[in-house]
Amino acid sequence: MTTTSSAGATEGRREYHTLAVSSSRRSAAVSGKSHAARPTAPTLEAVAAMAGVSRATVSRVVNGSSTVNPDSADAVKRAIAELGYVPNRAARSLASQQSHAIALVVPEDTTRFFGDVYFASIVSGINRRLERSDYLLNLMVASSAPEGKMLRYLAGGVVDGVAVVSHHTSDRFVHQIADMLPMVFGGRPAFSDIDGYVVDVDNVAGAAKATQRLIDIGRTRIATITGPMTMQSGLDRVAGWRQALEQAGLEPGPMVHGDYTLPSGTRAARELLALDSSIDGVFVASDLMASGAQPVFIDRGISVPADVAMVGYDDSPSAVATEVPLTTIRQPSERMGEEMADILLAVLAGDDSKPRETLMPTELIVRESA
């Protein structure tokens, strides 16, 4: 017998493996399949029934409220396990006004973004921190029409906070995001009038540290292969190189530009050698470029580090993959990601004690190349 009452609401509603869909409310069920989380996902209600308590109590147990009798708590937990209950995200969000998700906003050009190990590490770090929470990570790439769609998404309450990896975000739309959500930048943004947290690494100090290493081991003709001059980090590392040289009373050696990529390192090394073969040290602004440069020296019979000492930057995997392992500067890029997530999580928890700006320290890693 079927009743027309509202009972049995949790029965036969959603099925994935079954062909006979009983009471789908969806129209687009063209195929015989209705895709949903699982066949008849148990609800709070069901758990409550099984445990012999009210929904409220189950909710309290699930959310770890203290005010709950150990006995009933046990019963609830058993019921949860038995039923394989897992709270419905949407319902929870709706009721609590929190999505329990944060967005990683990437300023266009996904391919370039993902191709960069540095960003990879940041994402990895963000993820690592998020794993210890129950927050989800949403990837939002600002494409052709960034403001429109993304802003709409964010306004829709999809996420509680935003992490922006500020490559060269020149767009104003980040301002609008900052207006509605807590925000943290990975790398200092182009504008300073923005309401958000910033996590960055001290590139100047790092580069100076690298150059100082070359000075410390007695090198005096110190060149540099730079990163792109269109990026803050590229500029900063040149500044650090100059600063260390100046402080030591040394003349800057030749400078050749690269773009952080390996091939550019190869080209730069050849250029460097053509320019001035008297150098005895070189600070390369990325390990990837150093990996490209090193073979050029070696294949021409220039010993590393005996003839030319070399310090890289990043401490990327390629630093130890070169013939002569690279002395390099370790950037806590993964930790940077963790920090970003940590800040966001803290802010979302109402903790306002995080500093607006966090500068992550760099570390000299001494290997064989210098």
* Positions in 187-206 near its own copies (CB under 8 A): none
Question: How far is residue 226's CA from residue 259's CA, in Å, rounded to a whole number?
Answer: 7
Give whichever of 301 and 350 is closer to DNA, judged by the CB atom. 350
Query: Quick one: what does residue 136 bind among DNA, its own copies, none, with the CB cut-off 5 to 8 Å set by partner type?
Result: its own copies
Asked if 106 contacts 165 with a C-beta cutoff of 8 angstroms, the reply is yes
Determine which residue in the list 34, 57, 169, 203 makes contact with DNA, applying CB under 7 A. Answer: 57
Site residues for its own copies, 335-354, by CB under 8 A, read 347-352
Query: Binding of DNA at residue 26 (CB under 7 A)?
Result: yes
Query: Binding of DNA at residue 59 (CB under 7 A)?
Result: yes
Determine which residue in the list 40, 54, 72, 124 makes contact with its own copies, applying CB under 8 A. Answer: 124
Count each helix (H run) and each strand (E run) in the chain, helices first: 13, 12
Query: Quick one: what does residue 313 bind among its own copies, DNA, none, with the CB cut-off 5 to 8 Å set by partner type?
Result: none
Query: Quick one: what does residue 137 bind among its own copies, DNA, none, with the CB cut-off 5 to 8 Å set by partner type?
Result: its own copies
Give whichever of 45 and 276 is closer to DNA, judged by the CB atom. 45
Q: What is the DSSP annotation of 300-345? A: TT--TTTTSEEE-SB--GGGTTSSSPPBEEE--HHHHHHHHHHHHH
How many residues touch its own copies under the rule CB under 8 A: the total is 92
Strands 363-365 and 328-330: antiparallel
Give whichever of 252 and 295 is closer to its own copies, judged by the CB atom. 295
Q: Which of 346, 366, 367, 365 is nearest to 355 (CA)?
A: 346
Instruction: Return the DSSP state at 251.
Output: P
Closest contact distance (angstroms) between CB of 353 and DNA is 22
User: Which span (49-57, 132-140, 205-213, 215-223) binds its own copies, by CB under 8 A?
Assistant: 132-140
108 to each of 144, 271, 336, how far by Cα in Å?
8, 32, 21
Q: Please, which residues have CB within 8 angstroms of residue 318's CB and are 6 or more apart in sequence?
A: 262, 287, 288, 290, 291
User: CB neighbours (10 Å) of residue 191?
Assistant: 12
Query: Binding of its own copies at residue 68 (CB under 8 A)?
Result: no
Closest contact distance (angstroms) between CB of 370 and its own copies is 18
Query: Binding of its own copies at residue 303 (CB under 8 A)?
Result: no
User: Which span (67-75, 134-142, 201-209, 214-222) binds its own copies, by CB under 8 A?
Assistant: 134-142
Query: Binding of DNA at residue 81 (CB under 7 A)?
Result: no
CB-based burial label for 255 (10 Å; 0-12, 13-18, 19+): middle
Give whichever of 33 and 356 is closer to its own copies, judged by the CB atom. 33
Q: Which of 20, 25, 29, 62 is nearest to 43 (CA)?
A: 62
- DSSP three-state, residue 119: helix
Q: Please, which residues have CB within 8 angstroms of residue 349's CB and are 6 or more apart in sequence?
A: none
Site residues for its own copies, 240-259, by CB under 8 A, read none
Determine which residue in the list 321, 356, 361, 363 makes contact with its own copies, applying CB under 8 A. Answer: 321
In the stretch 93-132, what mask flags binding to DNA with x, by CB under 7 A? -xxxx-----------------------------------
Give whichever of 7 and 306 is closer to DNA, judged by the CB atom. 7
Q: Please, which residues have CB within 8 angstroms of residue 300's CB and are 6 or more apart in sequence?
A: 273
Q: Which residues pair with 363 in a beta bridge?
A: 330
Give whichever of 84 and 249 is closer to DNA, judged by the CB atom. 84
Determine which residue in the list 1, 4, 6, 17 makes contact with its own copies, applying CB under 8 A. Answer: 17
For 56, phi then psi, to 5°, come to: -55, -45
Q: Which residues pair with 365 in a beta bridge?
A: 328
Q: Which residues bind DNA (CB under 7 A)?
A: 4, 6, 9-10, 13, 25-27, 41, 43-45, 52-57, 59-60, 62-63, 66-69, 71-73, 85-88, 91-92, 94-97
